């Protein structure tokens, strides 16, 4: 008998008894909420997402609200979740739903995939949750469950292995007859697979003794849960050094918007330079020659493809140093109270958040 036989029913029964039933986005089949949660949950844990999800919805309760929101507001609501391309796609997707689909998300996964930022697995999850469509998901957690259960040896970052996992994910779906009789079964199955991957079949210590799939799981029976899924080790991430110019003028701090491409795309940030010399050149050009910055302790920050070492250089400008023309040319001057409402990269927010308006004002007169 094939290993996929009975797989779906075991997942469905386990979800009913032991799965998660109280996540905020589970209380609704509204495609906007389901889509928002799915995008936020990519690469991010449930415990982190819950606050962001609720704050986002309280400010932008419908897809039309999101489509109309300014980019700045969207980035500010997203700041701290990382992977900022997701926020830009989110905004673009809301605009496309409003302009191309009359403000209603399409129900079929094939149509959902045509929208910005929605890949096949996310489209399948939205369609399964909102319309009961019989479509397979294959996010990172599900790849791990299937690779272990079926004993898939190939590198899960490679196309051939991913294709094999998609085929297995389709084989495991509840039967068409069952989905036809009970459309809600797709919600239970899809949620069950997500829950199982997140809570039992975890990366480091899978709880096989509690798993409904343990009887037939290849990795469990062959003692290979630590080996599977296999992924070739990535090369050591390089370290990159950047220098931040932290300039205060009165109670204000100077920020610049990051370019579309590169790290922290479209977020507000302290001006960033590749070398300390370039940061000092900017001070000379923007304000006056001879103003010396104070070097602060460097901060480490991990990104997906490299490690960052950020060195802030601090400067409190005299009042006479910033004319309106200089202010326009250098970026945006923001007072301390406004910082919390801007979309700032996490390490920059952490750096600035301790500098209250009082501290900024005090420093600026030193
Ligand atoms: S038995 Fe263990 S390794 Fe296999 S699917 Fe369940 S938790 Fe994962």
Last residue of a domain, one of 188, 221, 254: 221
Q: Please state, in angstroms and rounded to a whole number, the distance separating the CA atoms of residues 66 and 157.
A: 34
Burial (CB count within 10 angstroms: exposed 0-12, middle 13-18, buried 19+), residue 342: buried
Q: What is the pLDDT of residue 260?
A: 83
pLDDT bin (cut points 50, 70, 90) of residue 183 is confident
Q: What is the pLDDT of residue 251?
A: 83
Within 13 Å and on the Cβ side, how many CA atoms surround 202?
10
Residue 125 falls within a domain, yes or no?
Answer: yes
pLDDT tens for residues 316-342? 888 777 665 666 667 888 887 788 778
What is the 161 CA–ligand 1 centroid distance (Å)?
19
243 and 208 share one domain: no
Rounded to the nearest 10°, the torsion over CA 96, 101, 106, 109 is -50
What is the 318 CA–ligand 1 centroid distance (Å)?
63
Residue 1 falls within a domain, yes or no?
Answer: no
Query: Across the chain, what does the average pLDDT equal?
Result: 89
The residues, ordered by sequence, that sit 6+ positions from 180 with a Cβ below 8 Å of its Cβ are: none
Helix (H/G/I), strand (E/B), else coil: 102: coil
Q: Please state, in angstroms and rounded to a whole number, the distance separating the CA atoms of residues 87 and 309.
A: 25
Residues with CB under 6 A from ligand 1: 145, 148-149, 200-201, 206-208, 211, 213-214, 217, 219-220, 225
Angle at 172 between CA 167 and CA 175, to 5 degrees: 115
Q: Please state, in angstroms and rounded to a whole number, the distance separating the CA atoms of residues 292 and 160.
A: 56
Residue 11 has pLDDT above 90, yes or no: yes
Residue 274 falls within a domain, yes or no?
Answer: yes
State the closest ligand 1 atom to the C-alpha of 218, by its place in the atom list counted from 1. Answer: 4
State the closest ligand 1 atom to the C-alpha of 225, by its place in the atom list counted from 1. Answer: 3
Number of domains in the chain: 2
Provide the strand spans (E) within the chain. Answer: 239-249, 252-257, 268-269, 272-273, 294-295, 299-302, 307-317, 332-335
139 and 171 share one domain: yes
Of 14, 214, 215, 228, the residue with max ligand 1 atoms within 8 A of its CB, to mutate for a pocket test, comes to 214
Quick one: average pLDDT of 218-230?
96
- Given phi > 0 = left and psi -120 to 50 = alpha, else beta, which region is 23? beta
Q: Are 217 and 3 in contact (CB under 8 A)?
A: no
Residue 284 falls within a domain, yes or no?
Answer: yes
Q: What is the pLDDT of residue 366?
A: 23
What is the 260 CA–ligand 1 centroid distance (Å)?
41
Residue 205 falls within a domain, yes or no?
Answer: yes
Minimum CA distance residue for ligand 1 atom 2: 208
Q: Please state, in angstroms and rounded to a whole number, the distance separating the CA atoms of residues 99 and 89.
A: 15
64 and 212 share one domain: yes
215 and 256 share one domain: no
Minimum CA distance residue for ligand 1 atom 1: 214
130 and 217 share one domain: yes
Positions marked active-site? 38
Residue 253 has pLDDT above 50, yes or no: yes
Expressed as residue numbers, the domain containing 248 is 239-364
DSSP letter for 174, please. P
DSSP letter for 127, please. H
Q: What is the pLDDT of residue 302?
A: 83
pLDDT bin (cut points 50, 70, 90) of residue 190 is very high
Q: What is the pLDDT of residue 207?
A: 97
62 and 176 share one domain: yes
pLDDT tens for residues 30-77? 999 999 999 999 888 899 999 999 999 999 999 999 999 999 899 999
Q: What is the 3-state composition of the chain as percent helix, strand, coil, each rounded to the nearest 5?
A: 50, 10, 35
Last residue of a domain, one of 221, 252, 286: 221
Q: What is the pLDDT of residue 98?
A: 97
Q: What is the pLDDT of residue 336?
A: 76
Residue 359 has pLDDT above 70, yes or no: no
pLDDT tens for residues 260-296? 888 888 888 999 999 999 999 998 888 888 888 989 8
State the closest ligand 1 atom to the C-alpha of 196, by its place in the atom list counted from 1. Answer: 7
334 and 188 share one domain: no
Helix (H/G/I), strand (E/B), else coil: 280: helix
Q: What is the pLDDT of residue 353?
A: 73
333 and 214 share one domain: no
What is the 336 CA–ligand 1 centroid distance (Å)?
50
Residue 231 falls within a domain, yes or no?
Answer: no
Highest mean pLDDT among 197-211, 225-239, 347-361: 197-211
Q: What is the pLDDT of residue 362?
A: 30
pLDDT tens for residues 133-155? 999 999 999 999 999 999 999 99
Residue 227 falls within a domain, yes or no?
Answer: no
CB < 8 Å & 24+ apart, contacts of 321-326: 321/249, 321/287, 321/288, 321/291, 322/249, 322/287, 326/286, 326/287
Classify strands 252-257 and 332-335 as parallel, antiparallel or unpaired: antiparallel
281 and 350 share one domain: yes
* CA-wise closest residue to 274 among 299, 306, 244, 237: 244
What is the 148 CA–ligand 1 centroid distance (Å)?
7
State the closest ligand 1 atom to the C-alpha of 212, by its place in the atom list counted from 1. Answer: 6
Residue 364 has pLDDT above 60, yes or no: no
Last residue of a domain, one of 190, 221, 252: 221
CATH code, 211: 1.10.340.30
pLDDT bin (cut points 50, 70, 90) of residue 79 is confident
pLDDT cut 90: percent of the chain above it:
64
Highest mean pLDDT among 99-103, 262-266, 303-307: 99-103
36 and 185 share one domain: yes
Q: Please state, in angstroms and rounded to a whole number, the distance separating the CA atoms of residues 185 and 129.
A: 10
Distance of CA 15 to the CA centre of its chain: 25
pLDDT bin (cut points 50, 70, 90) of residue 355 is very low
pLDDT bin (cut points 50, 70, 90) of residue 363 is very low
Residue 291 falls within a domain, yes or no?
Answer: yes
The residues, ordered by sequence, that sit 6+ positions from 296 with a Cβ below 8 Å of its Cβ are: 246, 311, 312, 313, 314
Of 169, 206, 229, the residue with max ligand 1 atoms within 8 A of its CB, to mutate for a pocket test, comes to 206
Residue 9 has pLDDT above 60, yes or no: yes
Q: Please state, in angstroms and rounded to a whole number, the distance separating the CA atoms of residues 98 and 63.
A: 8
258 and 132 share one domain: no
205 and 148 share one domain: yes
């Amino acid at each position: 008998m094939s290993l996929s036989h009975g797989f779906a029913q075991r997942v469905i029964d386990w979800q009913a008894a032991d799965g998660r039933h109280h996540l905020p986005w589970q209380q609704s089949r509204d495609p906007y909420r389901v889509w928002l949660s799915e995008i936020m949950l990519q690469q991010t844990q449930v415990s982190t997402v819950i606050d962001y999800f609720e704050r986002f919805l309280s400010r932008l309760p419908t897809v039309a609200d999101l489509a109309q929101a300014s980019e700045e507001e969207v980035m500010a609501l997203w700041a701290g979740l990382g992977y900022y391309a997701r926020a830009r796609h989110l905004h673009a997707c809301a605009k496309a739903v409003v302009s191309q689909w009359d403000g209603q998300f399409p129900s079929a996964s094939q149509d959902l995939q045509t929208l910005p930022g929605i890949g096949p697995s996310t489209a399948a999850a939205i369609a399964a949750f909102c319309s009961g469509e019989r479509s397979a998901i294959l996010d990172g957690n599900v790849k791990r469950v299937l690779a272990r259960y079926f004993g898939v040896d190939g590198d899960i970052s490679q196309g051939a292995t991913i294709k094999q996992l998609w085929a297995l994910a389709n084989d495991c779906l509840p039967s068409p007859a069952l989905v036809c009789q009970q459309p809600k079964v797709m919600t239970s199955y899809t949620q069950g697979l997500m829950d199982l991957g997140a809570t039992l079949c975890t990366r480091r210590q899978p709880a096989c003794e509690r798993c409904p799939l343990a009887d037939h799981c290849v990795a469990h029976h062959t003692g290979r849960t630590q080996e599977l899924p296999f992924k070739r080790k990535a090369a050591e991430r390089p370290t990159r050094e950047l220098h931040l110019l932290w300039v205060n003028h009165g109670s204000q701090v100077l920020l610049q918007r990051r370019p579309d491409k590169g790290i922290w795309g479209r977020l507000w940030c302290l001006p960033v330079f590749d070398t300390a010399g370039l940061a000092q050149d900017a001070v000379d050009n923007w304000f006056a020659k001879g103003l010396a910055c104070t070097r602060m302790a460097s901060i480490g920050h991990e990104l997906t493809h490299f490690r960052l070492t950020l060195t802030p250089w601090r400067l409190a400008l005299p009042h006479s140093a910033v004319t309106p023309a200089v202010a326009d040319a250098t970026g945006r001057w923001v007072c301390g109270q406004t910082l919390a409402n801007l979309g700032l990269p996490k390490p920059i927010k952490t750096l600035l958040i301790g500098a209250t308006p009082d501290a900024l004002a005090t420093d600026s007169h030193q």
